[in-house]
Amino acid sequence: MKKAKSHFLRIRRIAFEGPRTNNPLAFRHYNPDEIVDGKTMSAHLRFSIAYWHSFRGVGADPFGPGTIQRPWEAGKDPISIAKNRMDAAFEFFQKIRVPFYCFHDRDIAPEGRTLAESNRNLDRLVDHAKALQRATGVKLLWGTANLFSNRRYMCGAATNPDAHVFAYAAAQVKKAIDVTKELGGQNYVFWGGREGYETLLNTNLKREQDHLAAFLHMAVDYAKSIGFKGQFLIEPKPKEPTKHQYDFDVASGVAFLRTYGLEKFLKFNIETNHATLAGHSFQHEIEVAAAHGMLGSIDANAGDELLGWDTDQFNTNVKELSLAMVSVLRAGGLGSGGLNFDAKLRRPSIDPEDLFHAHIGGMDAYALAFKIARRIVADGKFSGFLEERYASYDSGFGRDIEKQRVGFRELNQLVLRKLGEPKPRSGKQEYLENLLNSYLH
């Protein structure tokens, strides 16, 4: 591979300069090489760049086309443009010091006139990615297929009323799993792009859900048959693009996976903004997934509390992220998952430098949150409070309740003969909120 020219000439590799630096192009909290518990911070946080936002996003919205024009998009031949763009992307990954990236098949290579041509285009860019991964050490966190942009998928992919579209989606995902394996991808994500409906007047909800489950079973079987060892992840989202998406939130996802015997094969990729859209906090979604042993990975972004759609902003809310990281740490970490910046620049943020500011902000906020969360967990004040609060279930009749060794009859006797009226205890919410703030400031 010939030495690529620099696409971010004026920007050097971002250095850690500590919290007091005035340099806006430096990390203040994220020190990738710092060893924490025998592991680098980079290995703890496993940051990843979302190819679609950072290298395909142009700032378009329903009111106008893109505003962001990158020099590496110049040219006529779509394959050479795609290669140039990928060179720029890998230069960015290295300069921003992120160890992973994620893509949809159609992000990295142009769609052709036929599936066979699309596959050939993809193969050429996969070869290019392989060489760049080898040269830079950047790895693939997860791959996925875009089953929502092309008009053939306007009524869904696996949940399309037309079996022909289902078959086409299956063929596309087969190839996406193949290339994810080829590039050493550590996970594979299913986000149900248009797997949902606009109106029940034209939708057989039960059949569509059965079809989605059948599709996932086929994916599991196929992965097994080719020896793909990556973790499958499902990414819930309640709405957008369809009015009602089937993978609404983690809780409905758990029910869906268990109903169809898929719970052993999939974990969750939780996106902050999707939690907001579902009316949940980010931490809630992490806790629900962790409660079922199904916490897989995180799409790190933020929504806007005042808007009802997926704004995919970079998250700089240290309080929200600290709570999320407490739950992640208590769950034992993300395993093969990571923190993928599924976030995009605002439409007027048109400079290549803005890509750096955005990711520096997101990485620093997460790094700070990680440090705060570690202190919170190590101090054990919150967990001590929780243990205390539930201590009545640790022995005696409380334990019998947890072990299901007693029923209504025994408990009825116990209350009537011995226990009488319970003595209410304070939930201490305000005390705990103040305690949390003492870690943040």
Residues 178-197 contacting ligand XLS, CB under 6 A? 189, 191
Q: Does 235 bind ligand XLS (CB under 6 A)?
A: yes
441 is catalytic: no
Cβ nearer to ligand XLS, comparing 102 with 365: 102
Give the C-alpha separation, 82 to 272, whole Å: 30
Shortest distance, position 341 Cβ to ligand XLS, whole Å: 11
Taking the CA atoms of the chain, what radius of gyration do you get in angstroms? 24
Give the C-alpha separation, 298 to 338, whole Å: 6
Q: Does 48 bind ligand XLS (CB under 6 A)?
A: no
Given 107, 310, 320, 364, the residue binding Ni ion (CB under 5 A): 310
Contacts of 149 (CB under 8 A, 6+ apart): 106
3-state secondary structure of 376: helix
Contacts of 235 (CB under 8 A, 6+ apart): 189, 190, 191, 192, 247, 268, 269, 270, 271, 274, 299
Given 285, 299, 320, 364, the residue binding ligand XLS (CB under 6 A): 299
Give the C-alpha separation, 80 to 72, whole Å: 10
Q: Which of 7, 53, 104, 128 is catalytic?
A: 104
Give the C-alpha separation, 168 to 436, whole Å: 50
Shortest distance, position 252 Cβ to Ni ion, whole Å: 17
How many of the chain's residues bind ligand XLS (CB under 6 A)?
10
Cβ nearer to Ni ion, comparing 266 with 376: 266
Cβ nearer to ligand XLS, comparing 178 with 342: 342
380's tokens: 């054990």
Cβ nearer to Ni ion, comparing 108 with 376: 108
- Nearest-10 Cα torsion for 21, 25, 31, 33: -130
Shortest distance, position 122 Cβ to ligand XLS, whole Å: 16
Which residue type is seen at 200?
L
Given 144, 172, 242, 322, the residue binding ligand XLS (CB under 6 A): 144
Shortest distance, position 386 Cβ to ligand XLS, whole Å: 32
Shortest distance, position 238 Cβ to ligand XLS, whole Å: 11
The position carrying tokens 């007091």 is: 20
Site string for ligand XLS, 270-289 (x = CB under 6 A): -x------------------
Residue 85 binding: pick among Ni ion, ligand XLS, none (C-beta 5-8 Å cut-off by kind): none
Residues 257-296 contacting Ni ion, CB under 5 A? 271
Cβ nearer to Ni ion, comparing 41 with 277: 277
Residue 144 binding: pick among Ni ion, ligand XLS, none (C-beta 5-8 Å cut-off by kind): ligand XLS
Give the C-alpha separation, 334 to 350, whole Å: 33
Site string for Ni ion, 342-381 (x = CB under 5 A): x---------------------------------------
Give the C-alpha separation, 208 to 186, whole Å: 29
Given 310, 314, 326, 345, the residue binding ligand XLS (CB under 6 A): 310
CA 218 to chain centre: 23
How many of the chain's residues bind Ni ion (CB under 5 A)?
4
Given 342, 355, 365, 368, the residue binding ligand XLS (CB under 6 A): 342
Q: 370, 369, 376, 390: which is closest to 436 by C-alpha?
A: 376
Q: 234, 142, 121, 240: which is closest to 188 by C-alpha?
A: 142
Give the C-alpha separation, 190 to 186, whole Å: 14
274 is catalytic: no
DSSP line for 219-259 = HHHHHHHHT--SEEEEE--SSSSSSEESS-SHHHHHHHHHH
Q: Does 208 bind ligand XLS (CB under 6 A)?
A: no
Shortest distance, position 308 Cβ to ligand XLS, whole Å: 14
Which residue type is seen at 380?
G
401's tokens: 């309740």
Cβ nearer to ligand XLS, comparing 141 with 363: 141
Q: Which of 107, 247, 249, 312 is catalytic?
A: 107
Residues in touch with ligand XLS (CB under 6 A): 104, 144, 189, 191, 235, 237, 271, 299, 310, 342
Which residues are marked as active site?
104, 107
